[in-house]
């Protein structure tokens, strides 16, 4: 059995004492080395969960444990060493005057030796394809370049828990895939759990586990395959299913009976082949 | 308004060690009322290009013409405000265009600045809010205490409230949930159709490019790499892959279908339902032959 890394126990949260509850009695667990996608409509509470995970916010009710330690004012400094987070808008997190300084910053704070630092700067910037912008100012980059650099900066600290809050939203599909591959590659080498908050269905498919948020509550949890079979309910809460699921549905409406739940092109073509051999 | 770029180049921080040429001799023209998609790899110059459309940037060399407004290194429209009241830009990061203390003031800022009366502004806000999925009771909240997708919706509302003739959208669906993405894109399209609004969409979503645009411009390292009709552009995978672009998923699927079943279903923007129907008819036909 894998070790628990993040545990939310009946967490409720609101931004103002007299404001509405933003999260309502949320409980879930993320294990060591697991990759989890959090999805849900705009305003459902995903970024709030992310900020609770690294102690930028504290819950009014319930408990949050990271690696067995409760997140509170005393433990956050320790906990943040293990948690790397990329925000929705990378402008909010650049600290260096150049791209390479920015990548170095997090490592300096963690007392990583200079030689090792140089190596990691080189490695992570190469991994995200931003070597050529090493000496640029972060705020002078294009939208997608900013996201790549922000990801490099957290990868460099090799956190135990990596939280990507829509960190690839400005990338093209290829770029997004290659970055997610880089991340999951690291994740196989080191012990690292990955939480990706995303509206991108392809990214969801790459996760082992999916948490679906709806109006501050956990609406469902499961593997991508389980989750995407709940098509009708999905539309109601502002979400959608991938292309393959939509085409499968349309085929069924046209009386092409497909019994399985294909997840990718190959599985759907295979199912069509089976159907075609039977007619 | 017609848009034309004539040999436009743009260099950031010119005459410094950091000089970077982001646009390189780009020329094209877009007749009024067109829906254009601009696509290209990270850093290819898309955002730089569209910032020329409302005079935020002016060409280092070459000329940009929008309707009667002419911009070059030496020419600047006398009335920049008039240009900006007619060309509305939704920026890549919504935070860059939110600054007022309430959402209501933020949405009203543009039209107020262009001399629209309070009554008319109020009416416009009432009309726009439902189309961007923002509730009336949020109007007095601060735009900075919103979720990412909510900020995006407010930023879009602020630009629509100007009622521009040219709508420029820099990845407008990034951060929106799937339903929001569909609603907002459909809304832009119906404005384009109803008001004959010239629309310039920067996107990484090839599905959207092929679904909505009449014309596609591909940028690569600051140069215009290719332009043409979506159907033509997306029929040539190799040419796209050379600049690290993808073919829309539906087209990829239809190609794989052809490989497996030896039957081609050409893509001409038909709906998923129609594609399912075409597949069914083909499969039945094969079944009957055997
Ligand atoms: N600083 C804040 N003060 C008050 N309310 C806030 C604040 N930040 C967010 N909210 C509200 O909390 C709710 C949840 O916001 P959150 O950012 O967690 O949503 P999200 O799921 O990340 O949405 P999105 O997909 O749009 O990024 C929203 O209704 C939002 O308006
Ligand atoms: N303010 C700036 N100063 C200097 N260079 C810049 C500035 N803004 C952008 N650049 C550079 O100009 C090039 C083009 O950037 P631009 O923002 O136009 O790209 P883009 O096509 O919009 O990319 P993305 O898809 O990542 O948003 C990039 O190499 C970028 O680093
Ligand atoms: Mg968010
Ligand atoms: Mg851009």
Dump pLDDT digits (tens) for B177-210: 999 999 999 999 999 999 999 999 999 999 999 9
| In the predicted structure, residue A180 carries a pLDDT above the cut 90 | no
Query: Does residue B258 share a domain with residue B171?
Result: no
B276, B288: one domain = yes
- List CB contacts of A55: < 8 A, sequence separation 6 or more: A71, A72, A75, A76, A79, A80
Which residue among A43, A91, A171 sits closest to B42, beta carbon to beta carbon?
A171
Name the percent of chain A lying above pLDDT 70. 97
Task: Tell me the pLDDT tens digit for each residue of A35-64.
Answer: 999 999 999 999 999 999 999 999 999 999
| Same domain assignment for residues B204 and B88 | yes
Final residue of a domain: which of B230, B246, B262?
Answer: B246
> Residue with the nearest Cα to atom 18 of ligand 2?
B45
Q: B71 alpha carbon to ligand 4 midpoint, in Å?
A: 21
Q: Between chains, do A173 and B257 touch, taking CB under 8 Å as contact? A: no
Please tell me if the CB atom of residue A46 comes closer than 6 angstroms to any atom of ligand 1.
Answer: yes
What pLDDT shows up at residue A191?
75
CA distance A51 to chain B (A): 12
pLDDT at res. A188: 67
Burial class of B260 by CB neighbour count within 10 A (0 to 12, 13 to 18, 19+): middle
Q: How far apart are CA B180 and CA A211, in angstroms?
A: 20
Neighboring chain B residues of A247 at a CB cutoff of 8 Å = 253, 272, 275-276
Whether A225 and A267 have beta carbons less than 8 Å apart is answered as: no
Cβ pairs A/B, distance under 8 A: 149
Residues 6+ positions from B195 with CB-CB distance below 8 Å: none
Res B97: pLDDT = 86
Nearest Cα neighbor of A167 from A227, A106, A92, A55 is A92
Shared-domain flag, residues B54 and B167: yes
At residue A149, the pLDDT reads: 96
| pLDDT for the residue numbered A217 | 97
Same domain, B257 and B229: no
- A114 ligand 2 Cβ < 6 A: no
| For the ranges A176-185, A233-242, B259-268, the one whose mean pLDDT is highest | B259-268
Are B181 and A199 inside 8 Å of each other by CB?
Answer: yes
Let me know whether B240 and B257 are in one domain.
no
Return the best residue to mutate from B48, B60, B175, B205 for the ligand 2 pocket (most ligand atoms within 8 A of CB): B48
Mean pLDDT of B123-135: 96
pLDDT at B290: 52
Interval between CA B141 and ligand 1 midpoint (Å): 12
What is the three-class DSSP state of A218? strand
User: Among partner residues A148, A243, A276, which is closest to B249 by beta-carbon distance?
Assistant: A243
pLDDT at A2: 84
Could you tell me the CATH number of the domain that includes residue B58? Answer: 3.40.50.300
Report how far ligand 3's centroid is from the alpha carbon of B123 (Å).
Answer: 30
> Residue B252 pLDDT > 60, yes or no?
yes
Residues 6+ apart with CB under 8 A from A56: none
Chain A contact probe: residue of B144, B178, B252, B256 with most A CBs at under 10 A: B178
**Separation between Cα atoms, residue A30 and residue A38, nearest integer Å:** 11
Which of A17, A22, A168 to probe ligand 1 with, by most ligand atoms within 8 A of CB? Answer: A22
Same domain, B159 and B175: yes
Who has greater pLDDT, B161 or A173? B161
Check whether residue B61 and residue B176 sit in a common domain.
Answer: yes
Instruction: Identify whether the C-beta of residue A169 lies closer than 8 Å to the C-beta of residue A177.
Output: no
pLDDT above 60 (res A238): yes
Number of structural domains found in chain B: 2
Both B201 and B226 in a single domain? yes
DSSP class of residue A3 equals P
Q: Which atom of ligand 2 is nearest to the CA of A147?
A: 26
Give the distance (Å) from ligand 3 centre to CA of residue A85.
Answer: 13
Is the model's pLDDT at A98 over the cut of 60?
yes
Closest to A247 in 3D by CA, of B273, B261, B247? B273
Please, which pLDDT band fits residue A1 given cuts at 50, 70 and 90? low
Q: What is the DSSP string of B35-77?
A: EEEEEESTTSSHHHHHTTTTTSS--SEEEEEETTEEE-SS---
Say yes or no: B253 and B242 in one domain.
no
Of A42, A142, A256, the CB nearest to B150: A42
Chain B positions in Cβ-Cβ contact with residue A265 (cut-off 8 Å): 252-253, 256
Q: For chain A, what is the mean pLDDT?
A: 92
**Mean of all residue pLDDT scores within chain B:** 94
Question: What pLDDT, on the 0 to 100 scale, is given for residue A261?
Answer: 86
Q: Which residues of A touch B133 (CB under 8 A)?
A: 42
Confidence (pLDDT) at B287: 67
Average pLDDT over residues A100-128: 92
The side-by-side arrangement of strands in the sheet containing B3-12 is B20-30, B3-12, B61-66, B69-71
As a whole number of angstroms, the distance between CA A206 and CA A179 comes to: 12
Going from the N-terminus, what domains does chain A have, and what CATH number goes with each?
4-241 (3.40.50.300)
pLDDT of residue B204: 93
Torsion on CA atoms B214, B177, A162, A220, rounded to nearest 10: -140
pLDDT in tens, B33-76: 999 999 999 999 999 999 999 999 999 999 999 999 999 999 99
At B289, is the pLDDT very low, low, confident or very high (cuts 50, 70, 90)? Answer: low
Smallest CA–CA distance, residue B117 to chain A, in Å, is 32
- Domain with B261, as residue range(s), is 248-290
Which among A15, A39, A43 is the best mutation to test ligand 1's pocket, defined by most ligand atoms within 8 Å of the CB? A43
Q: Which ligand is nearest to the CA of B176?
A: 1
Residue B288 has what pLDDT?
A: 63
H or E segment and range at residue A142: none
CA of A45 to the centre of ligand 1 (A): 6
Give, as one character, the DSSP assignment of residue B149.
H
In this structure, the residue with its CA closest to atom 2 of ligand 2 is A140
Mutation for B interface: A254, A268, A273, most B CBs within 10 A: A254
Give percent helix, percent strand, percent coil of chain A, each to the nearest 5.
45, 20, 35
Do residue B283 and residue A238 have CB atoms under 8 angstroms apart? Answer: no
Cβ of A129 below 6 Å from ligand 2? no
Please write the tens of the pLDDT for every residue from B65-93. Answer: 999 999 999 999 889 999 999 999 999 99
ipTM of the complex in this document: 0.92
Task: Return the percentage of chain A with pLDDT > 90, whole number.
Answer: 70
Based on the domain organization, do B132 and B262 belong to the same domain?
Answer: no
Distance from CA of B49 to the nearest CA of A (A): 12
Rounded distance between C-alpha atoms, residue A36 and residue A29, angstroms: 10
Average pLDDT, integer, range A177-206: 84
Residues with CB under 5 A from ligand 3 (ion): A 46-47; B 147-148
Complete DSSP assignment for A178-189: HHHHHHHHHHHH
Q: What is the pLDDT of residue A175?
A: 85
Does the Cβ of A141 fall within 6 Å of ligand 2? yes
């Amino acid at each position: 059995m894998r070790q628990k890394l993040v545990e939310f126990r009946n967490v409720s949260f609101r931004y103002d004492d007299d404001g509405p509850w933003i999260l309502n009695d949320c409980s879930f667990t993320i294990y060591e080395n697991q990759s989890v996608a959090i999805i849900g409509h705009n305003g459902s509470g995903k970024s709030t969960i992310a900020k609770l995970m690294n102690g930028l916010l504290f819950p009014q009710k319930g408990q949050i444990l990271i690696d067995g330690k409760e997140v509170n004012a005393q433990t956050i400094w320790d906990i943040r060493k293990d948690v790397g987070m990329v925000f929705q808008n990378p402008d909010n997190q650049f600290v260096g005057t150049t791209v390479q300084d920015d990548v170095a910053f997090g490592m300096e704070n963690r007392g990583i030796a200079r030689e090792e630092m140089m190596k990691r700067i080189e490695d992570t910037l190469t991994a995200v394809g931003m070597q050529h912008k090493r000496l640029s100012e972060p705020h002078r980059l294009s939208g997608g370049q900013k996201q790549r650099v922000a990801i490099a900066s957290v990868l460099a600290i090799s956190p135990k828990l990596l939280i990507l809050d829509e960190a690839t939203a400005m990338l093209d599909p290829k770029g997004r895939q290659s970055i997610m591959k880089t991340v999951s590659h690291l994740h196989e080498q080191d012990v690292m759990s990955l939480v990706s908050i995303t509206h991108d269905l392809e990214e969801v498919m790459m996760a082992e586990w999916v948490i679906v948020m709806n109006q501050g509550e956990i609406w469902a949890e499961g593997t991508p395959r389980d989750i995407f079979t709940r098509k009708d309910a999905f539309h109601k809460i502002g979400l959608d299913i991938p292309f393959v699921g939509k085409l499968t549905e349309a085929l069924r409406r046209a009386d092409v009976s497909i019994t399985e739940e294909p997840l990718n092109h190959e599985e759907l073509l295979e199912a069509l082949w089976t159907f075609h051999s039977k007619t | 308004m017609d848009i034309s770029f004539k040999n436009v180049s743009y260099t950031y921080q010119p005459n410094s060690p950091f000089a970077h040429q982001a646009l390189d001799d780009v020329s094209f023209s877009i007749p009024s009322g067109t829906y254009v998609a601009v696509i290209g790899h990270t850093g290819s110059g898309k955002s730089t290009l569209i910032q020329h459309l409302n005079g935020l940037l002016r060409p280092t060399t070459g000329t940009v013409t929008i309707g009667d407004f002419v911009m070059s290194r030496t020419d600047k429209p006398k009335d920049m405000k008039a240009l900006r009241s007619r060309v509305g830009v939704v920026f890549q990061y919504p935070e860059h265009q939110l600054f007022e203390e309430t959402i209501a003031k933020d949405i009203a800022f543009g039209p107020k600045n262009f001399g629209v009366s309070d009554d008319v502004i109020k009416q416009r806000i009432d009309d726009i809010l439902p189309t961007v999925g923002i509730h009336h009771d949020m109007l007095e909240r601060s735009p900075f205490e919103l979720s990412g997708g909510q900020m995006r919706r407010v930023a879009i509302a602020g630009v629509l409230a100007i009622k521009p003739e040219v709508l420029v959208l820099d990845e407008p669906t990034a951060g929106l949930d799937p339903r929001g993405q569909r609603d907002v894109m459909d809304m832009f399209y119906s404005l384009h159709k109803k008001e004959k609004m010239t629309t310039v969409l920067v996107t990484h979503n090839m599905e959207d490019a092929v679904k909505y645009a009449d014309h596609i411009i591909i940028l690569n390292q600051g140069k215009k790499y290719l332009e043409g009709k979506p159907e033509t552009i997306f029929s040539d995978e190799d040419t796209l892959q050379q600049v690290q672009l993808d073919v829309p998923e539906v087209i990829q699927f239809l190609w794989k279908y052809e490989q497996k079943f030896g039957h081609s279903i050409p893509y001409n923007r038909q709906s998923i339902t129609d594609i399912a129907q075409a597949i069914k008819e083909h499969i039945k036909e094969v079944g009957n032959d055997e």
